[in-house]
Structure 1
């Protein structure tokens, strides 16, 4: 089983129960072969439990291990920090009822019961990742660190519609207009003797008087023209977003951070 191929594989117990997915692969110091895997369990895979690869095999549906679901659930909670101490290793072997391997003089692993827990440790191979914090690539002794950045641009979208319409309102206007009218005025002049024969009697004379009156007429005339046009204005908006980035961390075999 290649360590890289195990990451994110399903883990199945002897009864066919799916335990979760492989989070990390721990290698034996002496043989550099996969010895333990961590299985992501719990709600949304927030917990990791150590599962032994002793007697395990791979199939199309995942990694089949020899321990059952209950044993994995009750396994000691050990932080998957990249290295197992001899004490932690022995604790896990004891929980699963497995013999603690011992190291032979030629560096091979012997599964006899007389081995000492301190004879071997496991640590995570950096090339396998599996932490879900980013993608790293190993090239010799160098490691590439990646990070996400915001790429902000603009696009034109419809923000609304505007329409122009006209409607009729009625208002009252008052206009003062000069008008003329005729009035009767009596003019007299004296008559001298001998200017005619005078008679006494009744007489009347009809005079037609004229006057002007206001006449209202309405006409429609154009007074104003309106049109719609658009103009572009520029303002500033602040956008924000979450980005992920990778960081380097160096630890020694004892789990201590190094600068």
Structure 2
């Protein structure tokens, strides 16, 4: 697949599709032959840690949207021999032999020069910290419902009865003298007297039920945190600068 220099540069980071259009990963690195033609790419599949699967550019084609489509299925590419992410080493003879065998390609004689990794456009990755604010539950104290006994004075009134004695004197007249016989002697008559006094009887009666209820209340609390971020400055001579 013949590509222009601009297309080669645009390959880095582009999605790689299998023959059915399913995404395999993205282009990590590009290798060119002795003539400078790109022949192999590494594919970041996300399943091999710090390694990238290799795929041939032979019969591959660029889509209009810049994506690269290879004539293999996803499983074939993902199981292909791999290289370490970020390596700048050329592909050696053993690696090439394994790749041609894996993809069942015909190797056109011994290579005069091993495929060299093509440097991509200089780039740096700018990172920044972002905060993720959540909540966690922690003890905030214990509410107690305690019952205690106090003594207090209660004043009230109650009606009470008692006997009172009064002396009644009734004179004896001629009309009633016949019913009475004189009898001079000492004599005593008794009368039982009664009196009521207050009696206090205590009884225990329930008067109310007291319980603790817990309600969850949501409130906004400010969160202050320090985060770091990177700034990228490009030092380009004025004559070579192009504002974008």
Identify the structure with the greater strand proportion. 1
TM-score (ref. length: structure 1): 0.40
TM-score (ref. length: structure 2): 0.42
